[in-house]
Structure formats: structure tokens, C-alpha cells
């Protein structure tokens, strides 16, 4: 695998899940595979889970890891070509990327959507420049439109906990004070459709996601109706995608918070969230602390998901 930017690049999901199960059971089985190979993790945005789990995954495979926080200590980067660089940006991405590529064998990139220019975000301008100019295999650690390592960890977690062959999974929007990208919900929707789950999306009017990610899913604006009979509730906030409202917060409606009352509508569902989560905005203390909450095992599976993907990339090197 030379590139991992979408869950669909895993090919057959069953095969990928088998590899993940093996990685989880014997995490040090390939501790020689990454010997003398260097992974560079480039962060344009904050992270706790991705930063730690991806490093841990690479260390389990015997790799060396370098982490660069672009906004802390590196030169300020220009991303647009053709700009007269007479402002505060000292270096262009078009030099910085091949330089970074020359110091490593593989690159992970985190670059969130800016949420002001939908076209630029949805064209994945930054991530694609890394793919084009680094000369090295590149994987996404959440880019503008997807978070595939999260989605893979989510699917692994669902597979570990499901009680029926084809569980009902409900992804519900929930309120948040700040504008967040659509990457996590886009990617999760893509993963649910790719995995053939019984999948329903519930969001307020004005919050429909890009159709390219939700085609094949049921979308409703009635959260209570969606939750009926659910086996998994996947909560997430996202900002508006549609038209003029792109990147805006249109609602902070607290009746969408996932509470014990809401969970009572489900079929004893498990609660999931990618974290970080704002308690008592997205989900009540009671629900996130309940035995049905999978947020910690879900986060733990980020090591498994990253290690499975990096392992495949090392095998292809
Ligand atoms: C980010 C988001 O919603 O995309 C990262 C989630 C993994 N969340 C925040 O910025 C709070
Ligand atoms: N879920 C996730 O990607 O968390 P971080 O933003 O902390 O990496």
C-alpha cells in the first residue's frame, strides 16, 4: 500500500480485519519489519490519540519515529503557489515537503479542513501535495475530508462488540460550541457503507453531509426515530457542509445531546465517540461512564488500526 487516505483503500474488509486481529493478538510479531526505517508524523493540528497511538504502532513494528508540529518551532509555511512571499511565511510547502521526504521512509499527515473554502478543503490540497511531492508513502492522520485510521478503529471496535451479523449503527450529530470539520462523520459514513452495515444518519436540518459520503445511507432529521432499535450509537458534531453555510455552526440544540433517555430508545446500544468529547454537550456524564460506553476500547484500537496500515505499507516498501 503506497497511500492510505480512505478506508476503501484497504480493499477487502474481512482480510483487513483478520490482519488487525493478528496485530492485536501478537503486537510484536513484526518487530523487525520496520528496522532502520523512519516514519515522520507531521501535525498541522492538535492531537492526543493519533499522536500517541501512531507512534506506538510504529515502535511495535521496530521503526524510528520523528514527530513534527508544524506550528510549533518550524518555519511558517506558505501553501498557495504563485504568492509573493513578503508576509510572515518564511518557507513554501513545495520545498518543505520534498525536504521532509528526504529524511524518512514514510509520512503521516494531519491537516484539518480550514472550513472557509469548501472547494479547497474537499480537493484535499495539502494532503495531495504530500502525496505528489514527498516521494514517500503517505497516510492520513485526519485530513480535510476523512479520518480513515479512526474509521478503521471504529469498525474493529464494532466487530468486537456486535451481537448480530448486521447491527444497526446510528451516527447522530450532537451539539458543540465550535465549528468542527466533517472529516470524522464523512469517513465513518464511508466506512459503514463500505462494510455493509444497517446504517442511519441523524442530523438537524442544514447539517446534511456531502452526498458522495452518504449515498446508500438513510438520512433523517428525527433523532428519536433513528435511535429506535439501534445497536451502536456513534455521536459526533460537525459544522454545516451545504452551500453558503459551509463551516458554520447553525445549531447548538441541546435536545440532540446523547443522554440516558435517548439511549433508552435503542436496543441496549453501545455508545461510541472518536474523542476528544465535550461532556454534557455531545454526551451526558452518565452515558459516557456507563458500561455501554466503548470510548476507551475504541481509542485503544487506534494502535491496532495504525499498526495494521503501517505494516502493509512496510511490506510494500
Ligand atoms: C476534531 C474533529 O472534529 O475533526 C478531531 C477529532 C478526532 N475535533 C476537535 O477539533 C475537537
Ligand atoms: N480521535 C482522534 O483522532 O483524537 P486526536 O485528535 O486526539 O488525535
Number of the ligand 1 atom closest to the C-alpha atom of 178: 11
Question: How would you class 76 by CB atoms within 10 Å of its CB: exposed for 0-12, middle for 13-18, buried for 19 or more?
Answer: exposed
Indicate the SS3 state at residue 50.
Answer: helix
| Confidence at residue 153, expressed as pLDDT on a 0 to 100 scale | 99
Binned average pLDDT, 10 residues per bin, the chain of 317 residues? 97 97 98 98 98 98 98 94 97 98 98 98 97 98 99 99 98 98 99 98 98 97 98 99 98 98 98 98 98 99 99 95
Task: Give yes or no for residue 48 CB within 6 A of ligand 2.
Answer: yes
The contacts of residue 251 (CB under 8 Å, 6+ apart) are 175, 204, 206, 207
Euclidean distance between CA atoms 57 and 99, whole angstroms? 24
Sign of the torsion formed by the C-alpha atoms of 6, 182, 213 and 297: positive
Task: Give yes or no for residue 274 CB within 6 A of ligand 2.
Answer: yes
- Would you give the DSSP letter of residue 42? E
Task: Give yes or no for residue 184 CB within 6 A of ligand 1.
Answer: yes
| Confidence at residue 264, expressed as pLDDT on a 0 to 100 scale | 98
Instruction: For residue 82, report the distance from its CA to the centre of ligand 1, in Å.
Output: 31
Task: Give yes or no for residue 141 CB within 6 A of ligand 2.
Answer: no
Out of 41, 46, 49, 176, give the residue to mutate to test ligand 2, the one with the largest number of ligand atoms within 8 Å of its CB: 49
Tell me phi and psi for residue 40, to 5 degrees.
-105, 125
Task: Give yes or no for residue 275 CB within 6 A of ligand 2.
Answer: yes
| Confidence at residue 317, expressed as pLDDT on a 0 to 100 scale | 81
Number of the ligand 2 atom closest to the C-alpha atom of 110: 8
pLDDT digits (tens, 9 = 90+) for 259-292: 999 999 999 999 999 999 999 999 999 999 999 9
Compute and round to an integer the Cα radius of gyration of the chain: 20
Q: What is the pTM of this model?
A: 0.98
Instruction: For residue 182, report the distance from its CA to the centre of ligand 1, in Å.
Output: 9
Indicate the SS3 state at residue 38.
Answer: strand
Euclidean distance between CA atoms 138 and 9, whole angstroms? 13
Amino acid at each position: 500500500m503506497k497511500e492510505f487516505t480512505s478506508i476503501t483503500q484497504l480493499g477487502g474488509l474481512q482480510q483487513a480485519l483478520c490482519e488487525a486481529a493478528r496485530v492485536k493478538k501478537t503486537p510484536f510479531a513484526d518487530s523487525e519489519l520496520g528496522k532502520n526505517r523512519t516514519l515522520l508524523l507531521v501535525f498541522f493540528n492538535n492531537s492526543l490519540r493519533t499522536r500517541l497511538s501512531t507512534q506506538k504502532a510504529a515502535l511495535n513494528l521496530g521503526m524510528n519515529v520523528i514527530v513534527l508540529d508544524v506550528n510549533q518551532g518550524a518555519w511558517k509555511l506558505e501553501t498557495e503557489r504563485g504568492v509573493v512571499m513578503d508576509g510572515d511565511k518564511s518557507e513554501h510547502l513545495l520545498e518543505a515537503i520534498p525536504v521532509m521526504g528526504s529524511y524518512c521512509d514514510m509520512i503521516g499527515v494531519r491537516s484539518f479542513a480550514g472550513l472557509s473554502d469548501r472547494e479547497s478543503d474537499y480537493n484535499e490540497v495539502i494532503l495531495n501535495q504530500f502525496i505528489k511531492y514527498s516521494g514517500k508513502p503517505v497516510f492520513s492522520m485526519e485530513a480535510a475530508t476523512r479520518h480513515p485510521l479512526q474509521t478503521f478503529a471504529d469498525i474493529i471496535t464494532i466487530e468486537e462488540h456486535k451481537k448480530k451479523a448486521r447491527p444497526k449503527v446510528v451516527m447522530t450529530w450532537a451539539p458543540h460550541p465550535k465549528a468542527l470539520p466533517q472529516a470524522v462523520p464523512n469517513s465513518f459514513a464511508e466506512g459503514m457503507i463500505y462494510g455493509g452495515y444497517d446504517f442511519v444518519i441523524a442530523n438537524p436540518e442544514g447539517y446534511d453531509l456531502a452526498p458522495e459520503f452518504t449515498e446508500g445511507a438513510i438520512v433523517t432529521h428525527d433523532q428519536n426515530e433513528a435511535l429506535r432499535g439501534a445497536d451502536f450509537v456513534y455521536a459526533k458534531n460537525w459544522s454545516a457542509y451545504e452551500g453558503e453555510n459551509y463551516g458554520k455552526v447553525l445549531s447548538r440544540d441541546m435536545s440532540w445531546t446523547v443522554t440516558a433517555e435517548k439511549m433508552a430508545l435503542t436496543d441496549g446500544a453501545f455508545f461510541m465517540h472518536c474523542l476528544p468529547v465535550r461532556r454534557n454537550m455531545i454526551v451526558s456524564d452518565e452515558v459516557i461512564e456507563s458500561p455501554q460506553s466503548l470510548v476507551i476500547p475504541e481509542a485503544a484500537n487506534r494502535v491496532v488500526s495504525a499498526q495494521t496500515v503501517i505494516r502493509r505499507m512496510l511490506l510494500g516498501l
